[in-house]
């Protein structure tokens, strides 16, 4: 009895070619069904970058506002010094013209023009953007986001 069990283990040493082909076919089917979920990863990455740009703008605006409050610069216009730069203010918040100088962005990926920040490698850069809107009297700055063509 012991001899027959050992003999049968010696005969089966691996997989047959058909078993390997079936496994490869199953893996191929799984790859085809999973691939569409990962094809558009670049658009999601660009959208995330633009959301990070918005968060950076919000942080910079909040910090400048705190400095403006300390300096008493909360009128419809004014300025505060940040490092070596003079930042123009609108009701104590940075203006659209000066917000770009407060954040350090990768210029090869993000274009900045007077408060509008666009992702250069997007399908339509204008539709993968964040726009900074000046604060109003008694209101905080606004942000217009468009991620429809990232």
Render pLDDT for 45-76 as a digit per residue (tens, 0 to 9).
999 999 999 999 999 999 999 999 999 999 99
Q: What torsion, rounded to 10 degrees, do the Cα atoms 139, 127, 88, 102 define?
A: 110
Q: Is residue 132 part of a domain?
A: yes
The Cα–Cα gap between 123 and 133 comes to 24
pLDDT category at 146 given cuts 50, 70, 90 is very high
Q: Which pLDDT score, from 0 to 100, does residue 51 have?
A: 96
Q: pLDDT digit string (tens) for 106-145?
A: 888 999 888 999 999 998 999 999 999 999 998 999 999 9
How confident is the model at residue 41, as a pLDDT? Answer: 83
In a domain, 28, yes or no: no
CB 86 within 8 A of CB 64: no
The per-residue pLDDT for 25 is: 94
- Residue 18: inside a domain, yes or no? no
Reported confidence tier of residue 33, pLDDT bands at 50, 70, 90: confident
Does some domain include residue 100?
Answer: yes
Q: Report the number of distinct structural domains present in the chain.
A: 1
Mean pLDDT calculated for residue range 23-50: 86
65 part of a folded domain: yes
Position 71 in a domain: yes
- What percentage of the chain reaches a pLDDT higher than 70? 91
Question: Is 1 inside any structural domain?
Answer: no
Whether 15 maps to a domain, the answer reads no
Segments forming the whole domain that contains residue 129: 43-146
């Amino acid at each position: 009895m012991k001899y027959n069990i050992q003999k049968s283990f010696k005969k089966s040493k691996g997989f047959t070619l058909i078993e390997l082909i079936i496994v490869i076919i199953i893996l191929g089917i799984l790859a085809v069904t999973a691939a569409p979920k990962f094809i558009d990863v670049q658009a999601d990455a660009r959208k995330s970058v633009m959301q990070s740009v918005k968060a950076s703008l919000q942080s910079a605006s909040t910090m400048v506002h705190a400095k403006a409050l300390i300096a008493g610069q909360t009128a419809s216009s004014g300025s505060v010094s940040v490092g070596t730069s003079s930042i123009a203010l609108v009701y104590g918040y940075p203006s659209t013209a000066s917000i770009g100088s407060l954040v350090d962005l990768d210029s090869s990926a993000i274009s900045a023009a007077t408060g509008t920040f666009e992702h250069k490698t997007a399908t339509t850069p204008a539709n993968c953007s964040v726009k900074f809107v000046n604060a109003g009297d008694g209101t905080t700055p606004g942000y217009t986001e468009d991620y429809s063509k990232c």
